[in-house]
């Protein structure tokens, strides 16, 4: 649990995009449930495209496993400013149907 709290804290507040990207990478090796809210927030609002891309790619592996993951992917598919992020999210949602 402490590691999960640390990862979510890094996603939410670390200023360095490389640190946030490393937290996303580490999250890929953990149970996603305790991390979903932090990952969803990152997918929806991180200012750095590569961080959002990494987050949406991770969430895509878990599409339709929880309503929060589905909402985050739907938000990214409809609202991300970058086409590639929207495409990753849309493909994940389409696979889950």
Q: pLDDT tens-digit profile of 37-65?
A: 999 999 999 999 999 999 999 999 999 88
* Other CB atoms within 10 A of residue 80 CB: 21
Which tokens belong to 21? 């990207």
Q: Which residues contact 82 (CB under 8 A, 6 or more apart)?
A: 49, 52, 53
Q: What is the pLDDT of residue 97?
A: 67
Whole-model pTM? Answer: 0.95
DSSP 8-state symbol, 80: -
């Amino acid at each position: 649990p402490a590691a999960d709290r640390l990862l979510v804290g890094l996603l939410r507040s670390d200023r360095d995009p490389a640190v946030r990207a490393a937290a996303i990478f580490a999250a890929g090796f953990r149970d996603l449930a305790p991390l979903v809210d932090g990952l969803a927030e990152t997918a929806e609002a991180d200012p750095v495209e590569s961080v959002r891309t990494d987050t949406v790619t991770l969430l895509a592996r878990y599409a339709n496993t929880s309503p929060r993951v589905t909402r985050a992917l739907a938000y990214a598919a409809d609202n991300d400013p970058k086409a590639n992020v929207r495409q990753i999210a849309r493909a994940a949602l389409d696979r889950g149907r």
